[in-house]
Structure 1
């Protein structure tokens, strides 16, 4: 009899209280192996911000920021941290299937060409007659022809060598190549790992400084989740926004969350990588006006045109196919101020 009464009480409580409502399962993929720049998602997980929003989020490591898009499109994941330019590429080729960005985190791109100062390359014109190396298919490599055209570089005079990403810095250090097509947030720390000084001994030709004003990584969700559970999308955006603002002010809490998720990472390197993301990839001037998570439609439209040119896309998707701001909290709740804690 007591069991029956207890069961009835639970049933009543379940019907009346949101606390007893079943959480929505979300399968989430990171962009790569655990890194400091993943802090907003890992902090939202460890501090229970997802759970407070009624979400049961499972986070897996990734295989590349472009692979986040294909993982979501394949149905293995509902959401992830990945590159908006990969969304553009897939949306052009498979309309209505590509995921949609709902919270833009990296409002500046990590795409760059890095050269040793000892190479004597001081301007983009100096690329002519030299050899640059990069991994085939990465945005930096694929978009170099557009970079060259915009900046008057004769691409026929630039030798390009394909190689695995992990070989770029070692080959550049040995002098086998004169520069590399890289992601700054990766290459900077690869050079440090190779006992190099990336600030003092290398020149960084960042695409954004040469007419390639692109966006990059952020929170994206599947078409299915958008259609079937928009409330869950809004809840996830709220949790990530809350965590992002906290990470900007408290890197100690961010690192605790990262180490709780993966205690095999190097805390010193990943703290530095987090600070790099905060100060180099998440601080576009536009964020002061529109807040973290949003973007400028006109800039996104220009980005779509650049990506279409670089990837030879036959169709230009509309900006509304790529980014959906309808889930963002009010701008006053997305004010972003970085306080670096060393």
Structure 2
């Protein structure tokens, strides 16, 4: 039977033998052996995503696969989500340490369960990604024309759950629109649009466009969009969120998480194609071209390459967030108005120079 020594014991033995030529056996035997410290155990966290891995969140996979979390002493267990608007609530109810989802949902949690709600620490989407999805043949060109029409969407969809904000800024009475909940997949939802069983859909431009591309269609010939960001610029999109307990009890882990995610985001923005190649290697069922398109649409939701190059990623404009917070509290009839500092902390952000990627994301790299 072969005997294999423990790595640290072997290393100590080698150090002892190396001194045999200069020291007697007695001296060696008497000499104390200094223990070699084992590496510190990784701090484990549970991370709730907005969905499974896709082009829309590829930076988290990049950070994990390239070891950036481990560099910070962190081991991440990723859990696929059920939509960006559900992330904040599930973090509270199910005790997740980290989450990625819509910041307006975090406002609502902070209003309802102060002190327990997740806190945004790194803003990924500088603008709302939500849209009203129309058939390319639809006569509707403005929000006011939605009066009396039917809009269908998932009950947990961000656009559906921030529709009051959109309506309030466009002069549309939300009660004048018939909202229908349908939890079918995007093939089903777009089918309702094609069959004129629904006048419009709630969703993300990136998600609905990916569904069209998956079926081999051309987005411009099939769909048009009324974008929330054009009407409600004070709304943000998805952010990295941390639990208050993690931030309070393990501040070094909180800072490390933000640093690791930022590295993943920067590399994904500079070399989108590499990020998608990694995604497809992780899950071969993914369609590389569809997911690359989803990623590029998501970059547009982050403000676009020019804005990203100018101001970087991760930070917020406090006055703008306050305006969006006040609007959300008012139209959603929340029980209290949280302070901005309750819903977003800026002090964990890396320096601005570390949050500014290459000037223009190139989908070929």
Calculate the TM-score normalised by the size of structure 2.
Answer: 0.84
- 2:228 pairs with 1:225: no
Q: RMSD across aligned C-alpha pairs, in angstroms?
A: 2.5
Query: 1:11 & 1:224 partners in 2: Cα distance?
Result: 37
Task: State the shift of 1:331 in Å.
Answer: 0.7
Task: State the shift of 1:58 in Å.
Answer: 2.0
Structure ranking higher on relative contact order (CA contacts 8 Å, 6+ apart): 1
Query: 1:11 & 1:58 partners in 2: Cα distance?
Result: 36
Task: State the shift of 1:103 in Å.
Answer: 0.9
Decide which moves more: 150-159 or 241-250. Answer: 150-159
Q: In the alignment, what sits opposite 2:266?
A: 245
Alignment coverage as a number of residue pairs: 337
Decide which moves more: 240-249 or 194-203. Answer: 194-203
Q: Retained in 2: the 8 A contact 1:213–1:299?
A: yes
Decide which moves more: 139-148 or 202-211. Answer: 139-148
Gaps of 5+ in 2: 13-32
The verdict on how the C-alpha distance between 1:5 and 1:309 changes in structure 2, with shifts beyond 3 A counting, is: closer
- 2:123 pairs with 1:120: no
The verdict on how the C-alpha distance between 1:156 and 1:329 changes in structure 2, with shifts beyond 3 A counting, is: closer
The verdict on how the C-alpha distance between 1:73 and 1:39 changes in structure 2, with shifts beyond 3 A counting, is: same
Correspondent of 2:278 among 257, 272, 275: 257
Q: In the alignment, what sits opposite 2:50?
A: 31
- 2:326 pairs with 1:305: yes
CA-to-aligned-CA distance 1:23-46 (integer Å, 9 cap, x gap): 211221211122112211101111
Q: In the alignment, what sits opposite 1:13?
A: 36
- 2:123 pairs with 1:104: yes
Q: In the alignment, what sits opposite 1:178?
A: 199
Higher Rg: 2
SS at match of 1:44: helix
Q: In the alignment, what sits opposite 2:109?
A: 90
Calculate the TM-score normalised by the size of structure 1.
Answer: 0.89
Query: 2:204 & 2:259 partners in 1: Cα distance?
Result: 28
Query: 2:300 & 2:68 partners in 1: Cα distance?
Result: 24
- 2:82 pairs with 1:63: yes
Structure 1 segments of 4+ aligned residues over 4 angstroms from their partners:
2-5, 7-11, 284-290
Q: In the alignment, what sits opposite 1:203?
A: 224
Q: Retained in 1: the 8 A contact 2:147–2:173?
A: yes
Gaps of 5+ in 1: none
Q: In the alignment, what sits opposite 2:361?
A: 339
- 2:180 pairs with 1:161: yes
